[in-house]
Structure 1
Amino acid sequence: MNTQSGHNPPVIRRLSEQVVNRIAAGEVIERPAAALKELVENAVDSGARRIHIRLDRGGIDRIDVSDDGCGMSPDDLLLAVERHCTSKLRDETLVHISTLGFRGEALPSIGAAARLSVMSRQAGADSAWSIRVEGGVVSTPEPCAGAPGTRVLVEDLFFATPARRKFLKSPRVESGHAENVVRRLALSAPHIAFRLEFDDRLILDLPAQDRAARVAAILESGDADGLLAVEGQRGDLKLSGYICAPSVHRATANGQMLLVNGRPVVDPVLRTAVRVAYRNVMEHGRHAVVALSLEIPPEQVDVNVHPAKTELRYADSAAVRALVIGALGRALGTGAGVAGVRPDLIQSRGSSPARIWYPPERNADAADLSTRLARPLVPARPDSGLPSGFAESSLPLAGLPAARQTAPDTLHDQAATTAAMAHPLGAAVAQVLGTYIVSQTADGALVLVDQHAAHERLTHEILREQYMGGEIRAQRLLLPEVVDLPARQVDVLLSFGAALARLGVEIEPFGGTAVLVRAMPALLGKENPGGMLRDLAEELEADDLASPAQADALDARMDAVIARMACHGSVRAGRRLTHEEMNALLRDMERTPRAGTCSHGRPTWLKLEKADIERMFGRR
Structure 2
Amino acid sequence: MSIRRLPEKLVNRIAAGEVVERPAAALKELVENAIDAGATRISVRIAEGGISRLEVEDDGCGMTAADMALALERHATSKLPDDAIEDVTTLGFRGEALPSIASVARLTLESRVAGGDGWRRIVDNGALAGEGPAALAKGTRVLVEDLFARVPARRKFLRSARSEYAACLDVVKRLAMARPDIGFTFDHDGRRALDVQGGQDRLSRVAALTSRDLAANSIGVDLDRGEVHLGGVISLPTFNRGIADHQYLFVNGRPVKDRLLVGALRGAYADLLARDRHPVVALFLDLPAHEVDVNVHPAKTEVRFRDPQLVRGMIVGGLRRALDEHGFRSVQRPAEAALAAWQQEPVAPAQPATGLLFGHHAPREAPAVHLFGAEQAPASGEITARVYDRMTAFAPAPLAGRAEVATAPPPEAAEHPLGIARGQIAKTYIVAEAEDGLVIVDQHAAHERLVLETLKRGMAGQAVPSQGLLMPEVVELDEPACDRLEAAAPQLAALGVELERFGPAAVMVRSTPAMLGAIDCTRLVTDIADDLAGYDAALGLSERLELVAATMACHGSVRAGRTLNVAEMNALLRQMEVTPHSGQCNHGRPTWVKLAMDDVEKLFGRK
TM-score band, normalised by shorter chain: 0.7 to 0.9
Give the distance between the partners of 2:502 and 2:79, measured in 1 at CA: 72
Aligned residues: 549
Give the distance between the partners of 1:303 and 1:25, measured in 2 at CA: 19
Q: Report how far residue 143 of structure 1 moved.
A: 1.0
Give the distance between the partners of 1:139 and 1:583, measured in 2 at CA: 79
Letter in 1 for 2:174: R
Matched, 1:418 2:410: no
Q: Percent identity?
A: 49
Q: Report how far residue 510 of structure 1 moved.
A: 5.9
Pick closer, same or farther for the CA change 1:480–1:86 going to 2, 3 Å: same
Pick closer, same or farther for the CA change 1:592–1:82 going to 2, 3 Å: same
Query: Aligned residue for 1:197?
Result: 187
Give the distance between the partners of 1:312 and 1:14, measured in 2 at CA: 32
Larger Rg: 2
Matched, 1:212 2:203: yes
Query: Aligned residue for 1:555?
Result: 542
TM-align CA RMSD: 2.9
Q: Report how far residue 140 of structure 1 moved.
A: 5.0
Contact 1:335-1:592 within 8 A present in 2 as well: no
Describe the SS at the equivalent of 1:291: strand
Query: Aligned residue for 2:429?
Result: 436
Give the distance between the partners of 2:398 and 2:544, measured in 1 at CA: 42
> Which digits, 9 at most, give the CA deviation of each residue in 1:441-470, with x for residues without a partner?
4444x4432211110110110121122025
> Which digits, 9 at most, give the CA deviation of each residue in 1:94-118, with x for residues without a partner?
1111111101111111111111111
Describe the SS at the equivalent of 1:157: coil
Query: Aligned residue for 1:583?
Result: 570
Give the distance between the partners of 1:37 and 1:175, measured in 2 at CA: 13
Of the three residues 391, 406, 409, the one matched with 2:405 is 409
After TM superposition, the structure 1 stretch with the greater mean CA deviation from structure 2, 44-53 or 202-211, is 202-211
Give the distance between the partners of 1:261 and 1:183, measured in 2 at CA: 17
Give the distance between the partners of 2:84 and 2:503, measured in 1 at CA: 67
Give the distance between the partners of 1:487 and 1:60, measured in 2 at CA: 55
Summarize the alignment of residues 26-425 of structure 1 with structure 2, pairs less than 5 Å apart: 26-125=17-116, 127-139=117-129, 141-208=131-198, 209-222=200-213, 224-334=215-325, 338=329, 341-342=331-332, 344-346=334-336, 390-393=400-403, 409=405, 413=409, 416-419=411-414, 423=417, 425=418
Query: Aligned residue for 1:467?
Result: 459
After TM superposition, the structure 1 stretch with the greater mean CA deviation from structure 2, 458-467 or 525-534, is 525-534
Query: Aligned residue for 1:531?
Result: 523
After TM superposition, the structure 1 stretch with the greater mean CA deviation from structure 2, 595-604 or 55-64, is 595-604
Contact 1:345-1:606 within 8 A present in 2 as well: no
Contact 1:78-1:141 within 8 A present in 2 as well: no
After TM superposition, the structure 1 stretch with the greater mean CA deviation from structure 2, 26-35 or 209-218, is 209-218
Pick closer, same or farther for the CA change 1:57–1:321 going to 2, 3 Å: same
Q: Report how far residue 388 of structure 1 moved.
A: 7.2
**Where do 5+ consecutive residues of structure 2 fail to align?**
340-395
- What TM-score, normalized to structure 1? 0.82
Letter in 2 for 1:77: M
> Which digits, 9 at most, give the CA deviation of each residue in 1:485-519, with x for residues without a partner?
33535554445433332222223456786654433
Contact 1:480-1:516 within 8 A present in 2 as well: no
Query: Aligned residue for 1:5?
Result: none
Q: Report how far residue 580 of structure 1 moved.
A: 2.8
Pick closer, same or farther for the CA change 1:543–1:193 going to 2, 3 Å: closer
Matched, 1:567 2:562: no
Contact 2:43-2:186 within 8 A present in 1 as well: yes
Give the distance between the partners of 1:426 and 1:487, measured in 2 at CA: 49
Of the three residues 465, 476, 500, the one matched with 1:485 is 476
Pick closer, same or farther for the CA change 1:484–1:80 going to 2, 3 Å: closer
Q: Report how far residue 24 of structure 1 moved.
A: 1.1
Give the distance between the partners of 1:151 and 1:557, measured in 2 at CA: 52
> Which digits, 9 at most, give the CA deviation of each residue in 1:156-182, with x for residues without a partner?
111121221121112211111111111
Letter in 2 for 1:435: T
Contact 2:475-2:525 within 8 A present in 1 as well: no
Q: Report how far residue 145 of structure 1 moved.
A: 0.9
Pick closer, same or farther for the CA change 1:432–1:118 going to 2, 3 Å: same
Give the distance between the partners of 1:539 and 1:257, measured in 2 at CA: 29
Contact 1:482-1:514 within 8 A present in 2 as well: no
Letter in 1 for 2:281: V
**Where do 5+ consecutive residues of structure 1 fail to align?**
1-9, 350-385, 394-407, 547-551
Describe the SS at the equivalent of 1:428: strand
Give the distance between the partners of 1:246 and 1:65, measured in 2 at CA: 37
Pick closer, same or farther for the CA change 1:494–1:153 going to 2, 3 Å: closer
Contact 2:46-2:55 within 8 A present in 1 as well: yes
Query: Aligned residue for 1:400?
Result: none
Q: Report how far residue 22 of structure 1 moved.
A: 1.4
